[in-house]
């Protein structure tokens, strides 16, 4: 395997004479199986060799002793760097280039038994997340968000020395909500309070607490239809699509992704979950599974969308047995996630110079909805097209005529009035 990446015999001899020769070769095989490029592999091996020599000089003789030397190795490399990193961002990137191959190597040669993640409040609220998933029917995305907020609450109680559920008081709960208010907007804080109420209700349900404290958790008041849609004009949508360089593999993938967002108003996770089996080419149908409302939707496959997907499949998609349509371009290969879809949409909107609140994939989704409303489709039709669970989710798009207000703001308004 070494001969595949290194031409000089002295380089190969240096690797094989290293005391970590076997783990290094194992690491190279692991990188090759995940389709890392030759340049990436060649760049990683010298870092591992340097770390091996450094750890040996500090007394390391076994692989299990390596982890404690990683931080010292990174600090030494930073001190010995001939040229300054120039900025904090460049410094973080350099540190990542040092740490990533070492951490990957350690994960490979020191396999750990698969252990389930420890649940917060496991001793107070047994089977909390099983209850929320199986009986409340919450989705995995919601459960991950709940877990994040409940872990923050557990840390909050630990800092205040609370060791027993009987010590929970309304004042203590208010203190946590006030602390979270410093880091969350009102709508996000509403999610924090929802997670906290779910925990407190379960504590009362299993008998851990004698009173249902969930009734004292008051979130911020959010008025219905208080916000405006986050839509942009269709010309801005076309401008964003025009910013994508479709000559590269990444550009071909992202163009197809943004077309799906802009034509069908799909959510980021729905685009990420799309598989090759969901596209019926002969029938010209696009099947979207597992929507937020718990159903599936069939759309006619628009020619422009189909052409973009075919161009990506033929000239941009990596060769793999994975059935997901959209894959990560760089190794390690795998399907894109909803976060990647949202991040790429935000990036191209910024490149296009679009100004709107909270740019991202939902900006294009809102734009689809607003365009349908402006075309005089009923809110029921718009809601069905977007896969809304409740008609109340669609009402915000009928609140204002965005294009009329835009014309009024740019002109004297006489024609509209």
Q: CA–CA separation, 136 vs 157, rounded Å?
A: 26
Q: Span 282-311, mean pLDDT?
A: 89
- If asked whether residues 244 and 153 sit together in one domain, one would say no
Place 299 in a pLDDT band, splitting at 50, 70 and 90.
very high
Look at residue 261 and tell me if it is in a domain: yes
Task: Note if 289 is an active site residue.
Answer: no
291 vs 259, more confident: 259
pLDDT the model gives residue 33: 85
142 vs 293, more confident: 142
pLDDT the model gives residue 357: 79
Check: pTM over 0.75? Answer yes or no: no
Of 69, 362, 366, 371, the active-site residue reads: 362
- If asked whether residues 162 and 103 sit together in one domain, one would say no
Of 77, 133, 292, 324, the active-site residue reads: 292
pLDDT at 264 over 90: yes
- If asked whether residues 260 and 357 sit together in one domain, one would say yes
- If asked whether residues 247 and 150 sit together in one domain, one would say no
Place 341 in a pLDDT band, splitting at 50, 70 and 90.
very high
Place 114 in a pLDDT band, splitting at 50, 70 and 90.
very low
84 vs 280, more confident: 280
Look at residue 259 and tell me if it is in a domain: yes
In the numeric block, the tokens 């001190």 are attached to 79
Q: Span 150-175, mean pLDDT?
A: 90
- If asked whether residues 132 and 182 sit together in one domain, one would say yes
pLDDT at 149 over 60: yes
CATH of the domain at 345: 1.10.443.10
Look at residue 354 and tell me if it is in a domain: yes
pLDDT at 94 over 80: yes
Of 267, 291, 317, 366, the active-site residue reads: 267
Q: Span 24-28, mean pLDDT?
A: 92
Task: Note if 43 is an active site residue.
Answer: no
pLDDT at 257 over 70: yes
Of 253, 291, 365, 366, the active-site residue reads: 365
Place 115 in a pLDDT band, splitting at 50, 70 and 90.
very low
Task: Note if 388 is an active site residue.
Answer: yes
pLDDT at 73 over 80: yes
- If asked whether residues 19 and 140 sit together in one domain, one would say no
pLDDT at 251 over 80: yes
Q: Which is nearest to 363 in space by CA: 293, 277, 261?
A: 261
Look at residue 120 and tell me if it is in a domain: no
Q: Span 73-85, mean pLDDT?
A: 81
Of 44, 197, 317, 388, the active-site residue reads: 388
Task: Note if 223 is an active site residue.
Answer: no
Place 411 in a pLDDT band, splitting at 50, 70 and 90.
low
pLDDT at 244 over 90: yes
pLDDT the model gives residue 110: 83
CATH of the domain at 203: 1.10.150
Of 187, 216, 245, the residue that ends a domain is 216
The predicted-structure confidence for 121-136, as pLDDT tens digits, reads as follows 888 888 888 888 888 8
pLDDT at 223 over 70: no
pLDDT the model gives residue 117: 56
Domain that holds residue 202: 128-216
- If asked whether residues 64 and 173 sit together in one domain, one would say no
Task: Note if 397 is an active site residue.
Answer: yes
Mean pLDDT of the chain: 85
Task: Note if 159 is an active site residue.
Answer: no
Above pLDDT 70, what percent of the chain? 88
- If asked whether residues 98 and 150 sit together in one domain, one would say no
Look at residue 287 and tell me if it is in a domain: yes
């Amino acid at each position: 395997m070494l001969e595949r990446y290194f031409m000089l015999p002295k380089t190969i001899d240096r690797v094989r004479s290293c005391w970590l020769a076997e783990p290094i070769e194992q690491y190279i095989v692991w990188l090759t199986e995940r389709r890392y490029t030759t340049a990436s592999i060649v760049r990683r091996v010298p870092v591992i060799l340097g770390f091996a020599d450094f750890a040996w000089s500090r007394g390391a003789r076994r692989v299990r002793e390596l982890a404690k030397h990683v931080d010292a190795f990174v600090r030494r490399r930073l001190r010995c760097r001939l040229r300054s990193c120039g900025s904090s961002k460049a410094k973080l990137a350099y540190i990542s280039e040092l740490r990533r191959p070492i951490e990957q190597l350690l994960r490979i040669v020191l396999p750990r038994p698969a252990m389930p993640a420890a649940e917060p409040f496991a001793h107070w609220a047994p089977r909390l997340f099983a209850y929320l998933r199986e009986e409340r029917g919450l989705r995995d995305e919601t459960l991950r968000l709940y877990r994040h907020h409940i872990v923050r609450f557990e840390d909050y109680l630990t800092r205040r020395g609370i060791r027993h559920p009987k010590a929970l008081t309304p004042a203590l709960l208010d203190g946590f909500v006030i602390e979270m208010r410093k880091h969350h907007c009102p709508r996000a804080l509403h999610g924090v309070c929802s997670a906290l109420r779910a925990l407190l209700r379960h504590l009362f349900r299993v008998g851990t607490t004698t009173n249902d404290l969930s009734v004292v958790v008051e979130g911020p008041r959010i008025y219905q239809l208080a916000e405006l849609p986050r839509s942009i004009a269709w010309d801005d949508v076309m401008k964003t699509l025009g910013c994508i360089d479709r000559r590269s593999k990444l550009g071909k993938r992202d163009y197809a992704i943004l077309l799906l967002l802009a034509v069908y108003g799909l959510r980021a996770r729905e685009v990420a979950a799309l598989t090759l089996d969901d596209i019926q080419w002969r029938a010209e149908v696009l099947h979207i599974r597992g929507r937020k409302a718990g159903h599936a939707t069939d759309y006619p496959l628009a020619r422009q969308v189909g052409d973009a997907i075919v161009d990506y499949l033929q000239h941009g998609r990596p060769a793999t047995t994975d059935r997901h349509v959209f894959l990560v371009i760089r190794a390690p290969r795998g399907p894109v996630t909803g976060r990647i879809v949202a991040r790429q949409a935000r990036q191209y909107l910024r490149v296009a110079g679009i100004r709107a609140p909270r740019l991202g994939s939902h900006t294009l989704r809102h734009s689809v909805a607003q365009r349908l409303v402006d075309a005089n489709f009923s809110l029921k039709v718009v809601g069905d097209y977007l896969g809304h669970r409740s008609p109340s989710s669609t009402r915000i798009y009928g609140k204002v005529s965005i294009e009329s207000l835009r014309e009024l703001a740019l002109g004297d308004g006489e024609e509209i009035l």
